[in-house]
Amino acid sequence: MTPKDVVELAKEKGAKMLDLRFMDFPGLWQHFSVPISELSESCFEDGFGFDGSSIRGWQPINASDMLVIPDPLTAQIDPFFSETTMVLICNIADPVTREPYTRDPRHIAQKAEAYLKSTGIGDTAFIGPEAEFFIFDNIRFESATNRAFYEIDSVEGIWNSGRDECPNLGYKPRHKEGYFPVPPMDKFQDLRTEMVLTLQNLGIDIEAQHHEVATAGQAEIDMRFKPLVQMADQLKWFKYVLKNVAYRHGHTVTFMPKPLYGDNGTGMHTHLSIWKEGQTTFAGDKYAGVSQEALYAIGGILKHCNALCAFTNPTTNSYKRLVPGFEAPVNLAYSSRNRSAAVRIPMYSASPKAKRIEFRTPDPSCNGYLAFPAILMAAIDGIQNRIDPGDPLDKNIYNLPPEELAKVPSAPGSLEEALEALKADSEFLLKGEVFTQDAIDMWIDYKIENEINPVKLRPHPHEFFLYFDI
């Protein structure tokens, strides 16, 4: 779609407002709106000014002026606003130099795609994330000097099996039994279908929707794989649509990795394949029907997994899910069917075109514009340096004897460990200036100052249960 096409589409749809959206550094969509009369072909070059000092992880106050440059390929009509509003996803630029902003996550994703082409390894990286989420009915939380609590509620929560609901009709999934009985046990079929239809109306291809393993409305909607930047854009629409559809029905959606104690956390298994001239480079005659290049890509992901987690599992809460011995894939091994390995080669289809690798460690709290490029850069590094992933691990990892399990490395146990790994292992991300040292340093500093230290300094409610009577 050209700038001229966008202007004509706005007229055709009767748009009254233009909503300009972009991603802050940690990963939340930001926006501001202008009257549709401000939309012209020239704005795709001139951009719109805004204050970058108010965006998390961006400019200091003395250099706050920034530009958003709309991408005409991203034009959509918002499905929720009362007045017809055209949405354009934007890139960020310096108003003086007109250069792309190095801390703009979307620019990092674009550079990753360009770097892949420059290597000759491939011309397209296809990404397919399986973003899980929870649908809750109520959430309250507070963190103050003298008190801290959270309280979640759901009509599906097994803890409400004894609640007087006038009447309580039962049908509440037990812990780890939500995958996936039919209604009335599954209470959100219609809500998830509305989410799917809304996404499809935006041109987002959906493969499936279903309840997930946990009680209390855990769910999954799977998008069909797309090129890296397109999928990072779609992931933002995905979260936006799910939250807003739930909101208008009196529910709330969270992509927090571990909101419930004692039940499954929320992951985002991420599928990757690299193609060249219309053909996959990952199909071959090696283990599980993949190519040597695919095995090297796995080697790169396993080698750099600890550093990758700083972007793919970027919250302190992420590591409440990534705990050895439970359901999360923390073991740095690969397998064709073993879901306890960090990397899996899906075996659903015999078609060579379907050959891909599935990195199972990530969760949906991540910023796709950063996580997807980081995964791709690790895979490219594996291919360039012929990193051997070792032998596959097709045994049940959790049944291995201790001496054998000790030989299987594990993902980081905390965000702090992941950031330390990123400090020590970031060279592969700097190739082609895909990530800059400034962006990596800002990510580390932001996470330590705004997340790790505030969590570390606060008493945990369970500590009162354990220690108050000492």
- Find where tokens 């009369």 sit: 37
- Active-site residue 212, yes or no? yes
The verdict on whether 211 is a catalytic residue reads no
339 is catalytic: yes
Q: From the candidates 5, 8, 45, 51, which is the catalytic residue? A: 51
- Answer whether 342's CB lies under 8 Å from 358's CB: no
Q: Are 272 and 127 in contact (CB under 8 A)?
A: yes
For residue 95, what are the CA distances in angstroms to 19, 51, 439, 442? 20, 11, 19, 21
Catalytic pick from 21, 106, 269, 304? Answer: 269
Q: Which of 77, 57, 63, 68 shows the shortest CA–CA distance to 1?
A: 77
Would residue 142 show up in a list of annotated catalytic residues for this protein? no
Q: Looking at the chain, how many residues does it have?
A: 470
Q: What span, in angstroms and rounded, lies between the C-alpha atoms of 55 and 42?
A: 25
Instruction: Answer yes or no: 46 catalytic.
Output: no
Strand partners, 271: 128, 358
Mark whether 269 is an active-site residue. Answer: yes
216: left (phi over 0), alpha (psi -120 to 50) or beta: left
Identify the CA nearest to 19 among candidates 65, 102, 62, 83: 83
Q: How far apart are CA 437 and CA 434, in angstroms?
A: 10
From 19, 71, 156, 212, the catalytic residue: 212
CA 437/CA 93 separation, integer angstroms: 18
All residues at 6 or more sequence positions from 414 whose CB lies less than 8 Å from its CB, including other chains? 316, 319
Q: Is 194 a known active-site residue?
A: no
- Annotated active-site residue in 113, 263, 358, 381: 358
Active site residue 99: no
Helices (H), 133-224: 189-201
Considering 71, 113, 220, 381, which one is annotated as catalytic?
220
Given 3-state DSSP classes, what are the helix, strand and coil percentages for the chain, each rounded to the nearest 5? Answer: 40, 20, 40
Q: Which helix (H) or strand (E) holds 370?
A: helix 368-384
Is 220 annotated as catalytic? yes
From the list 24, 78, 104, 130, the catalytic residue is 130
Residue 74's alpha-carbon distances to 21, 22, 237, in angstroms, are: 10, 11, 11
Round to whole Å and give the CA distance between 280 and 356: 9
Catalytic residue from among 21, 71, 360, 381? 360
- Residues 26 and 367: beta-carbon distance below 8 Å: yes
Query: Cα–Cα distances in Å, from 359 out to 198, 305, 418?
Result: 28, 10, 16
As annotated, the active-site residues are 51, 130, 132, 212, 220, 269, 339, 358, 360
